[in-house]
Amino acid sequence: MKDLSLHILDIVQNSVVAHAKLIQVTLDVNTTNDYIELAVSDDGKGMDNDFLQRVVDPFTTTRTTLKVGLGIPLLKQNAELTGGTFTIHSEPGVGTTLKARFLKSHIDCLPIGDLGGTIALLMCSYPDVEFRIMAVVNSHEFSVSTSELRDALAGLSLNDPSVYPVVKEYINSNLDELQITNLG
């Protein structure tokens, strides 16, 4: 993965495949304490303890088309390469939460990437999923949810092709105020 937004895309797609109806994504950038933390939680089907222990192995996957699943192992590796940490908790029938913390100043810390485009793509591609997204930079925050966007669109569907550029621009303008694109 070339940037954190691609990790977000991958992890959230895992949540969608796990039948999550609520997915929360938080990206917390703290320049004072020199970290970037990504947290994703969902109310999907969850994983039993046996699968949870193996999920960081690239040869563990639920897919039938390929015998490898690199998303979670790469996220873990990329966080740990910076001196950061990775945790994942899951419970069958409840959901999954993962956190990856990166040492921001480390040479191996990935850039943030196209966060606005990724968030807009996810929200517009999966309009039946309630996304709650939060970006925090040194205690200044921007949050957006699927239900807020749906209300603002006054009847237009999130997966209407004309909506994506509007949602992306709205998200990017708020992320620009946080100056998050200059930090990764």
Residue spans of the domains in the chain: they are 4-182
Q: Is the per-residue pLDDT at 100 higher than 50?
A: yes
CATH 3.30.428.10 fits 4-182, yes or no: no
- Nearest partner of 112 among 26, 5, 38, 9, judged by Cα: 5
Residues contacting 78, CB < 8 A, separation 6+: 1, 7, 100, 102, 108, 110
Three-class secondary structure of residue 28 per DSSP? strand
Alpha helix (H) residue ranges in the chain = 4-17, 49-54, 71-81, 115-125, 146-152, 163-178
Listed in sequence order, the residues at least 6 apart from 11 whose beta carbon sits closer than 8 Å to its beta carbon are 40, 71, 72, 75, 98
Residue 1 has pLDDT above 90, yes or no: no
**What digits encode the pLDDT tens for the residues 13-68?**
999 999 999 999 999 999 999 999 999 999 999 999 888 888 776 665 554 454 44
The fraction of the chain above a pLDDT of 90, given in percent, is 79
Q: What is the mean pLDDT of the chain?
A: 91
Give the pLDDT score at 53. Answer: 84
User: Which pLDDT score is estimated for 54?
Assistant: 80
Which of 21, 3, 2 has the alpha carbon at shortest distance from 183? Answer: 3
The predicted structure's pLDDT at residue 68: 43
Confidence (pLDDT) at 66: 42
Rounded distance, CA 137 to CA 184, Å? Answer: 11
pTM for this one? Answer: 0.91
pLDDT exceeds cutoff 70 at 121: yes
pLDDT attached to residue 60: 55
Identify the pLDDT of residue 102: 98
Residue 51, pLDDT score? 83
90 compared with 155, residue with greater pLDDT: 90
Confidence at 184, pLDDT banded by 50, 70, 90: low
Judged against a pLDDT cut of 80, whether residue 101 lies above it is answered with yes
Place of tokens 């998050």: 180
DSSP result, 134-177 = EEEETTEEEEEEHHHHHHHTTT--TTSTTHHHHHHHHHHHHHHH
